[in-house]
Chain A
Amino acid sequence: MKKIKIVETASYVPQKIVTNDELSQIMETSDEWISTRTGIKQRHISLGENTSDLCLHVAQELLEKSGWAPESLDLLLVATMSPDSYTPATAALVQGKLQAKNALAFDISAACSGFIYGLKVAEKFLQQGSTKRVMLIGGEVLSKVIDWSDRTSAVLFGDGAAGALLESKTSGDSDFLGASLHTFGEFGDKLEAGKTEAISTFPNLKEHYIRAFSMSGRDVYTFATHRVPESIEEAVSKAALTLDDIDYFVLHQANSRIVTQIAKKLAQPLTKFPLNIAEYGNTSAASVPLLLDELVTQGKIKRGVKIALSGFGGGLTVGTQVIKY
């Protein structure tokens, strides 16, 4: 069996920072309200750069760090819930600009679990025949899909992108050890963005109608605090490990209070649950790789460290991948 290794990580966030205080000037909210309920202090907001632009920065940095030639990539995946367009795929736009001409490119739509679902797709490609090198990026410009008049959801999100290069190996210690992914489509309406409507008359010359983000807060909170611990336990068990063996739980940064509840349910110390939501807000598919890249850059995640990456959100979806880095 081939082993899967994360070779490099990289991230990119747009320059503009919007603090809670700045938000409280345009909507009825406060820094105290936002930070005690979510842990968020600020978020990066993209002005003019679309999702593929953020992802391209990440892609270029990944190639620079690794020394890989763009044409050596076999597969290029972008996980996003805020693509540039229905078609072409954001991954195809990045592939074109990167001139990764040998890479098959497509998007993964699994919202905040997108990076974890992407790891699973990458793993399957890498385990079979000809695919040796994969680039996986989670990228979002959520500021363009948010309803900025809805203060209950607008304060939560930010823009950013981050990703990883993956390679199949026949030797070495690094590997994917176990995973647990589940989809709960019956709860799809609990978190929606970019919902479209079919035309009701023909011919129909009215403008296309696309709805902004909407979420049932309590349902999603309850989903996360129940299904994520189950998913982590299942993935760790499939990896033939115990929770105590995991050095870091790299969780989707939706809300620091959700992370605290998950740690409590797993009876694991909070110190094993790093947070960076204060700086970025919820960046959906970008959040897990943003945190992963930060921990790798800080030297906290080194070769041999065991980590559980876990995402949860729209779909509703949940996914955990246990990795020996």
Chain B
Amino acid sequence: MTEQEIFEKVKGIVVEQLDVDAADVKMESDIKNDLEADSLDVFEIMNELEDDLDIKLEADENVKTIKDVVDYVKKEIDAK
């Protein structure tokens, strides 16, 4: 998967889970501050990515922005 494809995947899940406008989900968006996600939303976004992409994602401490999520997912896919 390319970075762009992963971004689109993450965006789809974030839009669905957080009920936000797709246009507001950008690479630099801060998940908690800009998109108003709380810790359980982050669980759910990670869970959906795990289920859809068949990867394992650990707890969310180092994930702040959408780009962090995309990079993390890409790293896990590449490591498969």
Which chain A residues have a beta carbon within 8 Å of chain B's beta carbons? 36-37, 217-218, 221-222, 225-226, 255, 257, 261
Interface of B: prevailing SS: helix
- What are 18 A-B pairs with beta-carbon distances under 8 A? A36-B38, A37-B38, A37-B39, A37-B40, A217-B39, A217-B43, A218-B43, A218-B46, A218-B59, A221-B40, A221-B43, A222-B43, A222-B47, A225-B44, A225-B47, A226-B47, A255-B40, A261-B44
B: residues with CB less than 8 A from A are 38-40, 43-44, 46-47, 59
Most buried by A among B44, B46, B59: B44
Tell me, rounded to whole Å, the shortest Cβ–Cβ distance linking A261 to chain B: 7
Q: Which residues of B contact A225 (CB under 8 A)?
A: 44, 47
Write the nearest CB–CB distance from A270 to chain B, whole angstroms.
14
A266 to chain B, nearest CB (A): 15
Main secondary structure of the interface of A (DSSP, over half): helix
CA distance A36 to B38 in the complex (A): 9
Q: Beyond the given A36-B38, A37-B38, A217-B43, could you list 8 further A-B residue pairs with CB under 8 A, ordered by the A residue number? A: A37-B40, A217-B39, A221-B40, A221-B43, A222-B47, A225-B44, A226-B47, A257-B40
Q: Which of B39, B43, B59 has the most CB of A within 10 A?
A: B43
Set of chain B residues within 8 Å of A37, measured between Cβ atoms: 38-40
Nearest B residue to A38, CB-CB:
B40
Nearest CB of chain B from residue A147's CB, rounded to whole Å: 19
* A221 and B47 alpha carbons, distance in the complex (Å): 10
Chain B neighbourhood of A226, CB < 8 A: 47
The chain B residue with its CB closest to the CB of A33 is: B38
Task: Enumerate chain B residues within 8 angstroms of A222, measured Cβ to Cβ.
Answer: 43, 47
Which residues of chain A have C-beta atoms less than 8 A from B38's C-beta?
Answer: 36-37
> How many angstroms from the CA of A222 to the CA of B44 in the assembled complex?
8
**What residues on B are CB-neighbors of A255 within 8 Å?**
40
Which chain A residues lie closer than 8 Å to B44 at the CB level? 225, 261
Task: Please give the distance in Å from A241's CB to the nearest CB on chain B.
Answer: 26
* A268 to B70 CA separation, bound complex (whole angstroms): 31
Residues in B whose Cβ lies below 8 Å from that of A221: 40, 43
For B46, the chain A residues whose CB sits under 8 A away are 218
Minimum CB–CB distance for A263 against chain B, Å: 13
B-chain residues with CB within 8 Å of residue A36 when the two chains form the complex: 38
User: Smallest distance from the beta carbon of A32 to chain B beta carbons, Å?
Assistant: 11
User: Please, which residue of chain A has its CB at the minimum distance from the CB of B50?
Assistant: A222
Task: Please indicate the chain A residues that have their CB under 8 angstroms from the CB of B47 in the complex.
Answer: 222, 225-226
Q: Which residues of B contact A217 (CB under 8 A)?
A: 39, 43
Q: Which residues of A contact B43 (CB under 8 A)?
A: 217-218, 221-222
Q: Inside 8 A of A218's CB, which chain B residues have their CB?
A: 43, 46, 59
Q: Smallest Cβ distance from B31 to chain A, in angstroms?
A: 15
A-B pairs, 6 with minimum CB distance:
A218-B43, A221-B43, A257-B40, A222-B47, A37-B40, A37-B38
